[in-house]
Amino acid sequence: MFELCANAARACASVAAGGFLDPSNTLSANAAAFWVFGIATTLIVAASIVVAVVETYRLRSPLPPVVFVSATLWLPNEPLVDAIIGFHYAADSPIILFTLWDRAIPLGALGIGAMFFLFPWAIYRMATHRVPMTRIVAVCLIAGVIDWFMEWAAIHWKLFEYYGNNPLRILGLPTTSMAQNSFIYALMAAAILLAAPRLQGWRVLLFLPVMPGLYLGGAALCTWPAYLGVHTHWPTLVVVALAAVSTAMNVYIPLSALTIAKRTPPPHDEPAAARSLDTVAG
């Protein structure tokens, strides 16, 4: 136990000193697969824009566009997150949005931000209408399955890959990422649910950094045990145990946060029924 704690401390110190592992190999993207994913990304982004516009018009609220913009602001964080989780895109992708810290971020990354709006918004709206948690879990799983199949295809065609000491994978996709990419939407929806009745008028703009913060903070909170192992040479059994714990945390913590948010009453100066910013006009 003491040795494991010492190893964890050394891993944290290494990471703090910039000791992230570098990708073990250089990827060469399949061009045809890239363009297929580019089309899919364009459709997902277009769908998120349509939903944001329709919801803004229907609700007469600034909340949908603010959440949409907040979700898109995660993009500059992607290189840092990739370094932490042991992930990289092919550097020769036909369209590169930007390169930071020698990490190329291609066109397909835009789809992640779009999903950070679409699924949290859907779950938020379900929560405001008191939809049972079982149906919300089903939506999270649907989002996860969509992500899994897209990632499996992308890994197969070498558009990106996960690397590092993470043996608990299915077809190259870590189970921690499978859980995280399913249930982080519930964590984001919980933040919307808690913030909506508490931000009036211009204060709704205070929500802008929330989604990027949850992308970083939520991933770190739920997956830090596995991330410790990714950048080490610890025994497989230890790393698998850490990954299993992190996988469970990525399910339990977001769903618990959403349950708490649903049960949290609105501010005392708001009507009991006010659970969102739907009525805010500015």
pLDDT beyond 60 at 127? yes
Q: What is the CA radius of gyration of the chain?
A: 19
Q: Which amino acid is at 227?
A: Y
pTM: 0.85
Q: What is the pLDDT of residues 166-220, one digit of tens each?
A: 889 999 999 999 999 999 999 999 999 999 888 878 888 999 999 999 988 888 8
| Residue given tokens 């690397």 in the structure block | 163
Measured from the Cβ of residue 134, the count of other Cβ atoms closer than 10 Å reads: 7
C-alpha distances in Å from residue 82, one per residue of 160, 170, 177, 219, 251: 11, 19, 12, 11, 21
Taking all residues of the chain, what is their mean pLDDT, rounded to a whole number?
Answer: 86
Q: Give the residues across from 89 on adjacent strands.
A: 160
Question: Which tokens is 226 given?
Answer: 């596995």
**pLDDT value of residue 5:** 44
Place of tokens 């929330």: 210
